[in-house]
Amino acid sequence: MKTEILQLLRESGEYISGQEICNRFGVSRTAIWKVMNQLKEEGYAVEAVPNKGYKLTCIPDVLSESEIKSRLHTKWLGQEVLCLLKEDSTNNRVKKMAEQGAEKGLLVIAEEQTAGKGRRGNSWSSPAGTSIFMSVLLRPDFLPEKASMLTLLAAMAVAKGIKEETGLEAKIKWPNDVVVNGKKICGILTEMSAEMDYINHVVVGIGINANMEELPAAIRETATSLLIEKKQLVSRASLLVKVIEHLERYYEIFIETEDLSRLHEEYNSQLVNRNVQVRVLDPKGDYTGYARGINAFGELLVEKDTGGLEKVYAGEVSVRGMYGYV
């Protein structure tokens, strides 16, 4: 009921009488008073004025189950939410829960990660309270070789969510980094448990540098945060919910064809390295060329400087800008 009352107060933005809340949810005045106290304890400011009712005057930047659920309009993604103060890694937590039978759509969020994981065995800086660290559980019934495309969907969802929430021009650096003003703002780590021809589960982990005032020195040259770029705090809950809603929508489009045929044009329109000269770090030998965009299978098409069009598969190679990260 706390979630529903929170949603009502936030969406109305006005005073709502205690009587109206009682009628709407069929509960007593005492029950409502208890919920208001719980909200206050969580950092919300609720004004109670005699003869007018209750009004929400301050929404804290918390990632709590009620805050997320009261904003989320999805069919299945994030319908089960677990918000943790501290966790080693939200990807690990989702993996464990998946092995214990959790259903597809589970969303785990942490305020802080003590062992945040990046791609290729790197760590992911995860200090408390200012970023978004979340992982979702998917149980697709397509072949394992298609799972890498899920990461591209997540990148699209993050870029779109950031644009809507902040107005910043978020772009994608193929395959799955989201960048703002040429610096990385989000990383995505997709992990899978599968047999040769069967996926048990996929965990998509997303880390967004939201309200960090500064980044660790080691990554300051190539990474940034929304606060640094926008010079304004962002509502993490609002952004998180937008990302989840877009991800569900993209996923549903994706599974209709099990490829990116209906999405690659939109992806390409967000691609920061489109028509940009890149260096492809290929174990078989590096080369340079112009990135032209992805095809329906998520491969990057690179027009080689020495001639010919190369299809670059994400798992095998890295793509770098000629003069830096992008």
Closest distance between ligand BTN and the C-beta of residue 132, in Å?
8
> Which one of residues 44, 54, 124, 267 is an interface residue with ligand BTN (CB under 6 A)?
124
- 101 contact partners, CB below 8 Å, separation of at least 6: none
| Structural contact between residues 292 and 274, judged by C-beta atoms closer than 8 angstroms | yes
Residue 18 contacts ligand BTN per CB under 6 A: no
**Of 14-22, 63-71, 205-213, 223-231, which part binds ligand BTN (CB under 6 A)?**
205-213
Burial profile 114-129: b = 16 or more Cβ within 10 angstroms, e = fewer: eebbebeeeebbbeee
Pattern 34-73, binding to ligand BTN, x per CB under 6 A?
----------------------------------------
> Which one of residues 64, 113, 166, 268 is an interface residue with ligand BTN (CB under 6 A)?
113
**Of 9-17, 114-122, 145-153, 296-304, which part binds ligand BTN (CB under 6 A)?**
114-122
Comparing CA positions, the residue from 304, 326, 5, 306 lying closest to residue 183 is 326
Residue 90 contacts ligand BTN per CB under 6 A: yes
What are the DSSP calls for 241-256, one per residue?
HHHHHHHHHHHHHHHH
| Structural contact between residues 233 and 123, judged by C-beta atoms closer than 8 angstroms | no
> Which one of residues 189, 215, 247, 326 is an interface residue with ligand BTN (CB under 6 A)?
189
How far apart CA 317 and CA 53 sit, in angstroms, is 60
Fill in the DSSP letter of residue 102: P
- Residue 275: left (phi > 0), alpha (psi -120 to 50), or beta? left
Pattern 148-187, binding to ligand BTN, x per CB under 6 A?
---------------------------------------x
Residue 133 contacts ligand BTN per CB under 6 A: yes
Binding residues for ligand BTN (CB under 6 A): 89-91, 113, 116-119, 122, 124, 133-135, 187-189, 205-207
